[in-house]
Structure 1
Amino acid sequence: MTVPSLRPAAPSLAPFPDSDYPEHPYPGARPDCSFVHLGRTGYPLRPDSTAPSGWRVGTGTAGEPCLNTWLAERGSDPLGARYPVLAYGSNVCPEKITWLRSRLGLTGPAVVLRAECTGVAAAWSAGHRPRDGQRPAVLMAAPGVVEQHAVWFATAEQRRVLDQCEGRGNRYRLVRLNDDAARIRLDDGTEPGPVLAYTAATAGMTPLLVDGRPVRCTELDQHGAVNLAGTPAAADGLSCTEITGEP
């Protein structure tokens, strides 16, 4: 009799606390994976084409439920009913997500899928963040540049909270990135439909130019960026359409 060989079970992805990814200094620390966040805890997500949602939740126990099943059990919208919103600054940080819950009333699971972004980049803004004086990131066109960011798949209520956080209409505007603006590819290899993003609403929030050029966030950390001297760029160069009202 031939005894079938047994494959070792794939290690389960363990949940992680906010404390593993502190918010300060801006933009905070971000997990090296896609995740869903709830109750000061992040649950890693891994792509799986056999799951209806395309993703499975690492609960740290035997079995990894489909993301849509996990969301439904918590009374939350499935992946396909959410808005894809590019996250390129602090909104990828789990501790910042908890700040959104405690200060701005964010509710429900926050789905944050890691993404490879081509053609856009996060640059240091000419402005400063009102609540703590740190220098925030702003999106700019960057032909040929590839950066790792994330896409929030936000419910309608969560997207309105992001409006408050980003100072929509004042510091940032909500736009839909045009097809020629960027290529955004998720961890599972798929490219979401038209992606929303928060971009500079005023000249004071456009990329900061130092010696005539913007400074990407990958080039300098917050400690070096906060006291930079320069001038605001005239524009961010993005091909996008501003959204009025609800998307």
Structure 2
Amino acid sequence: MKPRRPMRFADADYPCEPYPGRRPEASFVHLDGVGHELVGVPRPRSPSGFVLAGDGVDLDYWLAEHDAAPVAGRIAVLAYGSNACPSKVTWLRKEHGLRGPAVVLTARCAGFAAVWATGFRQRDGVRPVTLTAMPGVGEEHAVWLATPAQVEALDSCEGADLASPRYRREVLPAAAVTVTGEVKPPSVEAYFGACADRRPMLIDGRMARATLTIAPPPPERGPLAARSLRLEDDETQS
């Protein structure tokens, strides 16, 4: 029997290394290094559409207790790389001034895929992922319900606020993302590569989906080493 996942967890349960880190299977809210699993509850039984697993407290009520904005009116941003990892959320707080509870919901993305980028992150030499259109492909990712100030922190992390940005934040097509539960954001935004180093990496002319079991080459081997990687058939991994 599969063990029951904890309803509360610490950052240590979901390390951010190796990239893109581990992330919970369920939706969660995160604050002060602790995550709380969220369970979808139909409205009007739950004003927000979610309660904290175990104690049944409505998410909006819990957010109000922590002086945070309710679910309604938050900005939905797709998290397809490391931004759904709880340890990364804490790093965002330390390095980019993220404040307040982070609400992260499981979601299904259709017609877009996370693929390995051409370049490497300057701060640690890790190859990140980027998002690209890929018709017919479906992937499991996550969606932040972020406050405007939290979006500013995400923009800072992704370099979307630079004069020459690394990523740009754009609105996805209406049918591209389905968020788990009762919450139906009017739109979902996502980060796309905006510079040469954040364009999709090509292996034998094909983009390499990050959801495949492929380890990007370490920086010391250089980008050309990617040619030695073997891709599996995309159709078996959708």
Q: Distance in 2 between matches of 1:141 and 1:12?
A: 33
Post-superposition offset of 1:13: 5.9
* 1:140-219 mapped onto 2 (5 Å cutoff): 140-168=132-160, 169=162, 170-179=165-174, 182-188=175-181, 191-219=184-212
1:90 counterpart = 2:85: no
Partner of 2:12: 19
Equivalence for 1:237: none
The structural deviation recorded for 1:204 is 2.6
**Contact conserved, 2:49 with 2:182, CA < 8 A, in 1?**
no
What letter is aligned with 2:66? R
User: Unpaired segments of 5 or more residues in structure 1?
Assistant: 1-10, 232-247
Identify if the C-alpha distance between structure 1 residues 225 and 177 changes in structure 2 by more than 3 Å, giving closer, same or farther. farther
Deviations 1:174-219 (A, max 9, x none): 111133xx52112216543221111111233110111000000011
* 2:97 match: 105
Q: TM-score, normalised by structure 2?
A: 0.85
Structure of higher CA gyration radius = 1
1:175 maps to a residue whose letter is E
Q: Does 1:41 align with 2:34?
A: yes
Equivalent residue letter for 2:50: W
Letter of the 2:169 partner, please give it. Answer: L
Aligned partner letter, 1:206: R
Runs of 5+ unmatched residues, structure 2: 228-238
Instruction: Find the aligned partners of 1:189 and 1:65 in 2 and give their Cα distance.
Output: 16
Contact (CA 8 Å) 2:49, 2:183: kept in 1 or not?
no
| Root mean square deviation of aligned Cα | 2.0
Alpha-carbon contact 1:125-1:208 (below 8 Å) kept: yes
Contact 1:124–1:225 under 8 Å retained in 2: no
Tell me which residue corresponds to 1:32. Answer: 25
Identify if the C-alpha distance between structure 1 residues 65 and 190 changes in structure 2 by more than 3 Å, giving closer, same or farther: closer
Where 2:149 maps in the other structure, the secondary structure is helix
Scaled by the length of structure 1, what TM-score is found? 0.82
Aligned length: 216
Shift of 1:81: 2.0
| Equivalent of residue 119 in structure 2, options 109, 120, 127 | 127
Q: CA deviation at 1:225?
A: 7.2
1:115 aligns with 2:107: yes
CA distance in 2, matches of 1:200, 1:20: 30
The code of the aligned residue for 1:135 comes to: R
Is 1:184–1:192's contact at 8 Å kept on the other side of the alignment?
A: no
